[in-house]
């Protein structure tokens, strides 16, 4: 006997089993991922900038509070207009161009000299035994101490400045390259030899790739050295450059311009180091994890 009870009709507020609406009370996992990534990026930026922000705050507040004489250390907010005036007048750009031309020339030449020489010394023991005493003698001689010698021999022009940068930058590149070759895992070399590879192929396929990260460490150290040494050289004798700008501003008691030149040097060094990091990542991509890429 068929049942005469009818199913209640679905009203406007009642959803049947086939027309049930999805539950939107909580975010789905796919919706959480962008939020987590944004929060992680914001946290990373905060961690990287909190120290700089604290430093700038101390720099701004210390002169205003009378902790230091603002005549000799103006607040940070007063340095920005001075930096802008130097940039608008063109002096900042011409001085930066002069310093970069000198430092980059010496830096590039140091790579051309330091890397091949370091590879040869690190790979061939007879060459190392011949040159190690000479390297130990000159590696402990500060480049700044030799600046008067370079000026006496090469003059006060561009040659002496590029040469002192070349000398100063060669050592970190050379020493790190030698260390990179000598510290390659011996097991990798033995494995390559067991496969019958000749010495040049072992050097090309095993030693050189394994040495690249340490070589770039030396190159980055040399990049910082190039900026430092060229500034000192320009303070001693130059008519343009950031070092000249700082020295001339100090002598003329243009304190704000002096600090503006110091800030410009810091920014140039920061950008230079960042570019070197990008190049290093490009050459060591095989060593990075997918997350690092």
Write the pLDDT tens digit of every residue in 40-65: 666 667 777 788 888 889 988 989 88
The reply to whether 187 falls in a domain is yes
Closest CA to 172 of 238, 117, 225, 99: 225
Give the pTM.
Answer: 0.77
169-181: buried (b, 16+ CB within 10 Å) or exposed (e) per residue? bbbbbbbbbbbbb
Domain total of the chain: 2
Considering the domain boundaries, does residue 7 fall inside one?
no
Same domain for 68 and 105?
no
Residues 82, 56, single domain; the answer is no
Residue pair 150/160 in contact (Cβ under 8 Å)? The answer is yes
**pLDDT, position 173:** 94
pLDDT digits (tens, 9 = 90+) for 155-198: 888 898 999 999 999 999 999 999 888 888 778 778 877 877 78
In whole angstroms, give the CA distance from residue 90 to residue 124: 51
Is residue 19 situated within a structural domain? no
Last residue of a domain, one of 48, 73, 98: 73
3-state secondary structure 143-175: CHHHHHHHHHHHCCCHHHHHHHHHHHHHHHHHH
pLDDT at 229: 92
**245 lies in a domain?**
yes
User: Does 182 share its domain with 99?
Assistant: yes
Q: How many CB atoms lie within 10 A of CB 284?
A: 15
The answer on 263 and 158 residing in a single domain is yes
Domain identity same for 65 and 128: no
Q: Are 133 and 266 within one domain?
A: yes
Mean pLDDT estimate for the chain: 82
Give residue for tokens 């390559």.
192
Domain end among 73, 99, 122 = 73
Query: What was the pLDDT predicted at 29?
Result: 58
- 203 with 62, same domain? no
Q: Report the pLDDT value the prediction gives residue 99, as an integer from 0 to 100.
A: 92
Range of the domain at 47: 34-73
Residues 163 and 64 in one domain: no
Return the CATH number at 134.
1.10.3720.10
pLDDT given at position 264: 92
Q: Are residues 47 and 134 in the same domain?
A: no
pLDDT for the residue numbered 28: 54
CB of 154 closer than 8 Å to CB of 160: yes
- Are 47 and 115 in the same domain? no
Quote the tokens at residue 39: 């929060």
Domain membership of residue 85 (yes or no) is yes
pLDDT of residue 127: 85
So what's the pLDDT on residue 290?
A: 44
Question: Which residues, given as ranges, of the chain have pLDDT below 70?
Answer: 1-32, 38-44, 286-293
Give yes or no: residues 197 and 80 share one domain: yes
Residue finishing a domain among 73, 103, 123: 73
| Token pair 């100063």 in the structure block, residue | 168
DSSP for residue 97 = H
Nearest to 138 by CA among 174, 178, 87: 174
Has residue 60 been placed in a domain? yes
Verify that 98 and 113 share a domain, yes or no: yes
């Amino acid at each position: 006997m068929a049942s005469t009870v009818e199913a209640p009709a679905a009203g406007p507020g009642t959803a049947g089993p086939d027309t049930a609406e999805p539950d939107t009370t909580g975010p789905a996992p796919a919706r959480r991922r962008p939020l987590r990534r944004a929060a992680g990026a914001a946290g990373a930026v905060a961690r990287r900038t909190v120290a700089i922000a604290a430093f700038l705050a101390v720099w701004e507040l210390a002169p205003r509070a009378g902790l230091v004489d603002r005549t000799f250390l103006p607040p940070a907010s007063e340095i920005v207009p001075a930096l802008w005036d130097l940039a608008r007048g063109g002096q900042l750009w011409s001085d930066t161009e002069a310093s970069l031309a000198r430092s980059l020339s010496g830096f590039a030449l140091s790579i051309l000299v330091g890397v091949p020489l370091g590879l040869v010394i690190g790979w061939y023991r007879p060459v190392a035994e011949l040159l190690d005493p000479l390297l130990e003698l000159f590696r402990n001689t500060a480049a700044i101490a030799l600046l008067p010698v370079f000026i006496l021999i090469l003059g006060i022009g561009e040659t002496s400045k590029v040469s002192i940068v070349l000398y100063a930058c060669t050592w970190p590149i050379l020493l790190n390259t030698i260390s990179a070759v000598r510290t390659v895992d011996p097991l990798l070399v033995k494995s390559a030899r067991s496969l019958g590879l000749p010495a040049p192929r072992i050097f090309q396929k095993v030693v050189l790739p394994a040495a690249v990260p340490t070589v770039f460490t030396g190159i980055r150290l040399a990049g910082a050295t190039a900026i430092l040494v060229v500034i000192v050289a320009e303070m001693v004798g130059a008519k343009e450059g950031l070092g000249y700008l700082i020295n001339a501003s100090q002598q003329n008691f243009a304190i704000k311009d002096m600090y503006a030149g110091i800030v410009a040097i810091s920014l140039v060094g920061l950008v230079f180091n960042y570019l070197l990091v990008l190049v290093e990542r490009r050459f060591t991509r095989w060593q990075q994890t997918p997350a690092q890429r």
